[in-house]
Amino acid sequence: MRTIKNIIAVFILSLTILTVKAQEQPIHKSSFEQINLASKGLEKVKKLVDDANYDEAAKELLKYYRNRTHVRHLEYNLDEQQKFAGKKVNENTLELANNILLHQFKPHKAYPTYDYGKDINWQYRPVQDQLLTTFLHRTAFWEPLGLVYRSTADERYAKEWVFQVRDWIKKNKQGAYPDDKEYAWKAFVVSFRLNHWSGYFNMFLNSPHFTPAFLMEFLNAYQQQADYVAANYTDIGNHRLYEALHLMYAGSAFPEMKAAESWRKSGIQVLNEEIKKQVLPDGVQFELSPSYHIGSIKIFLDALQIAQLNGSAKEFPESYRHLVEKMVLAVGKYSFPDYTFPLYGNAFITNKSIMLKNYQTWAKVFPQNKVIEYYATDGKSGEKPNYLSSELPNAGFYAFRNGWKMDATVMQIKAGPPAEFHAHPDNGNFVLWVKGRDFTPDAGSFVYANVGDQENAKRDWYRSTKAHQTLTLNNQNILINKAKVSQWQPKGNLQLLSFVNPSYKDLNHQRSILFIDQKFFVIIDRAIGTATGNLAIRYHLKEDSKATVDLTNNSIKTNYTDGNNLLIQILNKDKISVKEEPSFVSYVYQKEAPRPAFAFEKPKNDSSTQGFISILYPYDGQTPPKVALTENKGNSIADGKIDLTLTINGKKVDIKQDLSN
């Protein structure tokens, strides 16, 4: 019975392949126009082309690709397929692959699966989020087909991939629809297709559905897309980096193409130029987003690895490696002991497992660096940094910390220059992490782009100044991030960061943060200038904090049952009003949670300087400390002369600082 079933299966497969071949485009001399037939190993192909035997030449070229071993891909290689054969894939991958067979695609993880139709509609936009559409045209969603195919050898998955590639090529030619340069033919998006298609090529290459005719269609479409990227680089930013990297992928994966060397060299040249432009002297990528910074590290190191695979590593100077190493070390400075970091500038949530893998990769590249080894081994070996509080002055990332382990107190502060693309108007913002808890997480971003009326409002709120822990005038967004640091003292029992940001027309915001006894913080905000209106400083707390407000003392406290809690109290002697506001936090794209938030407000009626004095005091237990403030004789917040005495549960702390400079 099994023999009969096998015969039937082979018969059906043969009919399918014959049907596919009947639909294939004829092969002409022009089909080989972009192939360097003088390449080693293509001697038979060249002779067949010279003899005008184009069908046989395509067969010979396919045989060459199925047998070549000198070309290596960073992720998927033909000679590694066998080790995955028969190994079970996870249920989610299998479900995604089976949905793709039905033309039900999931281009972006934040969205559900959508049906793109029996006759695939590549312009279908189930939601008005350009990110979903650009992800569709990146075609990363095809990967489950390849993963399931190499595990099961079920030809349905290979057949469908070949069909969909052909369908995409046919329906998405340049100029096929008016906004194609925003989606299918946006150079950034095209570059991702180059990356993904080079991997899929190896995953499906041995399938009988991968015919000689399909090979020629694939190679010609690939060449057109690589040439397009090379001619249409994005001017600036991480998009340009990705485009350069993906051109290196193209040149490395298909060295038989006539333009392969120019693609590869173009990518190397751009990366060598851009690392000097985009990486600040302190090692932070100039978009000032922790996530995009880490993504940029991967780009630069992937490029090095590709160059090593094809013998061109020397085309990257040693200074390139040194800058990447500095980028890696910068990550530790803006991170917490659990390896997470603030969600500044459209950053997205990470976790310790992901970051340990990153550090383990980086440690292999920089084996001599003992600090990277320390991070990579979770402190089991290597050397922990020889500092506690730290600065990344060009990026404007500052950190107060009293240790590197999970019981540490760490405050990350943003006081930097204007940034590209992903920046929010949020200078003065901070995130406070104590004993494993992020008490004041950055809001995140929820959504990056235009997704209709409601979602636009969401995007605007998450980007707004009032969604961050800083000062506002009339609840408006600050005009520019351009902080000037006047004092930075990262050592001792009274550590200080003081900076001024030209936040509004005729109003500068000076924020001075004091880290006292390596235990608690005092924040002094001064609104300096002739502008008038309603001033507010805001504190947004973690979504599960169950924070409550004490109107008598102008204080708020968290109420965690484990006893790890935080008191925030405004210590001004003048009248301050407090109100609870709606607030949200988004750790994952298009998902959010409500959280407690409080605005402490006072009027600014004239040109005189107004200020706020806050204390942020982490404490153990359910009862916050009693805090009182005495303004000594020489104290004048208007003049920047600070002379205060804090009394905390009966213990006095004197604070004397000149913030007028």
Residue 86 has pLDDT above 60, yes or no: yes
Chain centroid to CA 124:
26
Write down the residue that tokens 């079970």 correspond to: 88
Amino acid at 397: F
Residues with Cβ within 8 Å of 443's Cβ and at least 6 positions away in sequence, in order, are 343, 462, 467, 468, 540, 583, 584, 585, 586
Q: Residue 131 pLDDT more than 80?
A: yes
Express as a percent the part of the chain with pLDDT over 90: 85
Of 20-34, 133-147, 501-515, 582-596, the one with minimum mean pLDDT is 20-34
How much is the pLDDT for 199? 95
User: By C-alpha distance, which of 273, 266, 395 is closest to 333?
Assistant: 395
Check residue 430 and give its pLDDT: 98
User: How far are the Cα atoms of 34, 252, 296, 538, 605 from residue 48, in angstroms, in the given order?
Assistant: 16, 25, 45, 74, 87
Residues 513-560 have pLDDT tens digits of 999 999 999 999 999 999 999 999 999 999 999 999 999 999 999 999
In the set 116, 242, 292, 587, the catalytic residue is 292
| Residue 3 clears pLDDT 70, i.e. is over it | no
Burial class (CB within 10 angstroms; exposed 0-12, middle 13-18, buried 19+) of 421: middle
Using one digit for the tens of pLDDT, what is the confidence trace for 165-204? 999 999 999 998 888 899 999 999 999 999 999 999 999 9
Categorize the per-residue pLDDT at 456 as very low, low, confident or very high, splitting at 50, 70 and 90: low
Note if 292 is an active site residue: yes
Mean pLDDT, all residues of the chain? 93
DSSP β-bridge partners for residue 500: 484, 510
Give 337-351 pLDDT, tens digit per residue: 999 999 999 998 999
Average pLDDT over every residue of 129-134: 90
pLDDT for 385? 97
Place of tokens 């942020």: 616
Q: What is the mean pLDDT of residues 111-116?
A: 96
CA distance 12 to 157: 15
pLDDT recorded at residue 13 = 47
Which among 478, 348, 350, 477 is positioned nearest to 422, based on CA atoms? Answer: 348
pLDDT digits (tens, 9 = 90+) for 4-35: 545 544 444 454 455 545 568 899 999 999 99
Position with higher pLDDT, 634 vs 507: 507
**What torsion, rounded to 10 degrees, do the Cα atoms 370, 375, 379, 380 define?**
-70
Q: Tell me, what's the pLDDT at 241?
A: 97
Structure token digits, residue 200: 């899929």
Strand partners, 537: 471, 600
Mind listing the pLDDT tens digit for each residue in 258-281?
Answer: 999 999 999 999 999 999 999 999
In Å, what is the CA distance from 295 to each residue of 73, 350, 608? 19, 12, 45
